[in-house]
Structure 1
């Protein structure tokens, strides 16, 4: 008999992991059966099982090396009410699947642990160490290592140089290869052999170290009168890291002085200092690695700029004139001047603000743009194309007092009235705020309770409750098709198959899945007799109105099925819940006393009394399944989840 699967919501619903229960006798909770060792070939399937006694609805957990196994290929089935067998299927086993497995179950403080099942995965050798890329000196010996493990053992290692195997006796693992030396880049690899096949390692490239290539992009930047910042890009190191670079600095004067500077790299930059101002230089660079030095780069010329003058103007003095102030100082001697001398820079300030600045060629200047009523400070420096040299000390000129006008004494503003005014305003604001808050608090406490007394002799008491309480408990409303929010079309299809919840009694759980569960039930028929049925229901935690709609729509399809190999719908029902919560939809189907085909086939092989099913029986199963699927196809119904777990007997 085929269950025409209830869409993705109840996929895998039948006979999945059984929900944890506490009923029955748990004092004798224990796993039976001995542990065993299981050897599986790589890529094949491994099937494990453990058997638990003493609990009606257990929650059996598989563990591997102490960590819970998170796999969908787990199930457990009842042998008796308090006897369950749990199965774990590992498909396409790989080496990480090898290890120690066991089962655990716990209830009310009692914990049971099964004996261990050890899985050993056999396959082609697995490399634990492969040849690595490296760089070596020319004609210098070096070692390479290759190691692999089974199972199965033993295994042998064969070395390859390029495309040819080395003529040496195969060795076990690990294998060490001593190479006396090479002259050029060579590729090495190894093969590991055992009875399951051959595994090839990665190809390791061994380079021969050589002299580095010369640097490139040698440039100078931020050149001053005495320093220059130099940067470059390193050339190819030829498989040996660069250790240092050497820079030669040549002064292009008559004497052509030159010196060398050693630079540790990285970074690939250096600042040359102690250079001479306004001088022509030329530099070149080479870098070195373990093998030796690269060639030098081409010479790169550059020129330092002129330095600022080092002289400070002397003997600065001021003379008042009718048109202003005459500022004079001692002129720089002619033998200390050069072609780039621009003259003298004069700067004057009042109130610590620069009022003016100018450059003069001589050793005096007449200052006219200044306020004679304020103190004046003046200073002078020697300037050239590089900038201004050291400034002289400030020269102070006192303000001039006019004889025809007496200055009024500067009176300081009194801040006392302003402060008193601000404090008075703050006190007033605080007082008004306190009065308002006190009045508001009275209104809050009494204003809503006592109504207006105008026009009446007595106050009118008003009160609005903040909360209401119901001491009678949570109300449960009767569930109807109108209360679950399904479409009118679906409602009309299910009206004649709706069964009231009072007509049947739910029993033990037969199985559960990700989206729901299947429970045994006793349905009261019209003649008063009881009929054993199976009830499928959604989990109460995971559905909404759209889930109910889809769940019941599948049931509506089943209503029209009439075939001996397709499960026929008995009816649908709604399990009432507390007010405000959607009812739980339930689909009532015939009870199949032999369970699903998947469990039947498993128990026929690994049960307490294994049996051999005749080929005729298995063919009959297939014919019945095909007949049922053909009928569903004729009804334009796509099953979408045909599996032995959904084929019932």
Structure 2
């Protein structure tokens, strides 16, 4: 079944991608006035779910506002927008799609910013010898034309403006110097990048010299040091053999790149040292420090010699010569003695020394013995077989042998005398009897022989892959060592899903008691071969190792999948099998599945409670999840929610926040306001994501902020807008989720507080709760005066009739935080909107009330837009 599945998978992808995969729309050239909007589009046909990447001047564009539109089956269109074009946005743009290792590109298009010139050829860095002449090139275009170029070298103007393109001839410099060019047209002047003239020098010594050894071969790998502003051409490898004193071996000169070389023919179980230097056109670098390594053991190369025995009635003594160190090829583990009696092989015996004493000598009569030396790698060849016989029998056999030798010698002498007489008698007729004399007396001589006993040296099976073979750091190895599970205990099944870094497969794990457990296995992509990628994958498992909570997914173990002729195994993270899959899919199926089903409010609140308890546990462990969403929560067979997928998680070792340091794909619609602004993540930003997850649960899996683009989320939130109240969502539940979205992180509730609120809500729900009127704070009395009492019946107001002030104030706020709160909310008087009550420092209601202009519910809710790829 597995082979058929992969054949069908490959055929489907081949048929959909190879034939007819093409760009049906290419981006068009645009000339845009600075500050205006520009939009580029391209479309590709032939793939079911393409990932189209926008490129600018050879570099990938990281954009959060890219969207995909389905034109028809296997036909997609995407756009890239620049809202306010600046001079740096000018350049060459195109689309790329990668399919099975092949990159397909659209036709390029230029965005031209009308006004000052933009460069089509900027000066590039130059590396040269002291005093050697060289050329610099610069080209720029309008509109408008013409464009003229002025050169600056070392802060000094070189000549006057000249037409573009321009080539500057430099007679030579003796020191490093900076240069750039200016491009001028009727609208103004543009300045190019600043280039550097480097003087070529000797390279630095190589760094990070590593040894990767397999049997008798070793691969030496290194990184080049500073190249001296000149390409490295060759590197020299020096090796020495050091069994006690260093013996220098012949130097090896290799062409680079690549910066590695495989050396074979080394002795087993021997200490070596290696160092490297590299050459450029100026000369040679210094050598790197000596790196020492030891080659692995091998089976012995020879059989023990001088195998003798002594046999008495009491015991049999065996003795043989010990192997020389060169023959042993490793550390001697034992000598293996095998023996045969009456044509049947007996149980082999092991001895530490080259002598053996066995009691009961008589039982070994007529037995044959052989001996072999063994190391960690296996046993070597066997010695010649020795037949065990008493000394008297051997003497009698020797005497009989001597008698037979005498008889044979006598016959030979007689035969030779007879032949000599025959030769003398027939001497005269030798010429005519030539042929008869030399003719054989009978037929052809038959020569028979018995082959010597053969031996088979089998290499041992490859050992189980260990964490040491991954190249990960020691701290991560120590965390995962006690959860490593042998690969032989796992049987992989069908795929449950796949993502950017690998796939999740159903599997069966054999336990120590012989039973079989159904599990889920996260497998890293097979084309990922670097230790850093593997380390990133295993960090998630390291986080989960210490998790012990019913609402946080529990790590079962880590296994390593060995690959033939591959240095690194593939890590597999073993997790419990979740019968009902992820929470988001479960919620969607309740609305949009083939057999829709009803989820009670009590069950939905229970889902929220499970997630809150899991997140409270993680926060107590100083873990920031950073990717909390319904899709990353799993449902087990008892309908309990477990927080999962810790791929973006970070452990806080100091302070209470984590700052994102590099560009990565992040879930924009679940990210807190301060995280979008400053890349700062805290437990409070996880609380924000929990509020969005609550909204997903109440909206039965809808995509948050329907109708709002990813690129518009920050501006949407900074104005004070938030997710609208889902249909059929009770106000007290929306009150809780809305409190999670305060722009001031400290004003958001803790997970512990959220659990208490949700538990109180859940306790008040019956299995089929009836809708009852809710009580609200009445901000205006009958006479228009403030009233702090609770109104019911006629005194209650509907959702659309509520009035709000500046939202989300809390006790302990600083003045600057209140100022930002006013800015981020847009101020209630200016914007209105979907806000909660304002509780002042003393617990009273602050602010002037105002009716929400937008209201809390809308007649028409935006459904998910499947054409948008978040």
TM-score by length of 2: 0.28
> Which protein has greater RCO, CA pairs closer than 8 Å, 6+ apart?
1
TM-score by length of 1: 0.36
Q: Would you tell me which structure has more strand in proportion to its own residues? A: 1
